[in-house]
Structure formats: structure tokens, C-alpha cells
């Protein structure tokens, strides 16, 4: 892994919105509308941040009909795997990340209703 790849990955998660998105994606593949619902952010902002995460190589996307689904990319090395593990540990220390997950779990049954 080149240092620039690590810099790109760390810069991608340095933004609070992208960090929160990465936190949610640890729960599995999500539609843009799912992320919007939990973060209470507009589609344009969520899509822009997901695009940034995708370009950084941390997130993968697939299109199904009109909808885009996003998931965490398979870590490209031990360092990126360590970044993902650190994000998982951060769920225990950061109240905002915990609250996002609580919101996600409360509304999980209706989240993907618009997409499927």
C-alpha cells in the first residue's frame, strides 16, 4: 500500500458525515434513502459523500433499477482492515455513532421500503 492510498482513506473518513455513513454501512448494504433517513440529510449531500467514499475505495456501489446500493469495500490490505476495525470500536466511544445505530435499528423494518 502506498502512503497516498492511506492518506486518501483517512481523509475520506475525516469528515463527520462520511464517518457516520461508514458507521452505518458496517451494518450491511444500504440504499441512499436509508442513509438519508437515519442521518436526516438531503439526498444531494448523502450522494456526494457516498461518491467521495466510493472514489476513495472504501465503499462499493451497485445499481438496481433506479436505486443505488452501497456497502463497505473489501479491505485492500491490513492497514485498511485496521481502519475498518477502528471504526467499529469507535461505535463504543462516540455517542453520535451509537445514536445513528439506534435510529437505524429502530427503523430497519421500514428503511428499504422505498427501494424494494
Q: Which residues pair with 59 in a beta bridge?
A: 72
CATH classification code of 3-107: 1.10.10.10
* pLDDT of the residue at 108: 74
* pLDDT of the residue at 95: 94
Mean pLDDT of 92-97: 93
| 71 neighbors 25 (Cβ within 8 angstroms) | yes
| pLDDT tens digits, 56-83 | 999 999 999 988 999 999 988 888 899 8
| pLDDT tens digits, 17-61 | 999 999 999 999 999 999 999 999 999 999 999 999 999 999 999
DSSP per-residue codes, the chain: --HHHHHHHHHHHHSHHHHHHHHHHTT--EEHHHHHHHHT--HHHHHHHHHHHHHHTSEEEEEETTEEEEEEPPPSSHHHHHHHHHHHHHHHH-HHHHHHHHHHHHHHHHHGGGT-
**pLDDT-derived band of residue 103, with 50, 70 and 90 as boundaries?**
very high
Amino acid at each position: 500500500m502506498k502512503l497516498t492510498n492511506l492518506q486518501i482513506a483517512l481523509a475520506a473518513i475525516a469528515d463527520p458525515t462520511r464517518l457516520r455513513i461508514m458507521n452505518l454501512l458496517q451494518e450491511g448494504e444500504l440504499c441512499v434513502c436509508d442513509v438519508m433517513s437515519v442521518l436526516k440529510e438531503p439526498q444531494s449531500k448523502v450522494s456526494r459523500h457516498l461518491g467521495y467514499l466510493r472514489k476513495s475505495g472504501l465503499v462499493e456501489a451497485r445499481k438496481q433499477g433506479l436505486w443505488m446500493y452501497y456497502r463497505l469495500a473489501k479491505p485492500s490490505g491490513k492497514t485498511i482492515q485496521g481502519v475498518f476495525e477502528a471504526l467499529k470500536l469507535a461505535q463504543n466511544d462516540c455517542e453520535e455513532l451509537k445514536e445513528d445505530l439506534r435510529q437505524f435499528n429502530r427503523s430497519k423494518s421500514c428503511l428499504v421500503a422505498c427501494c424494494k
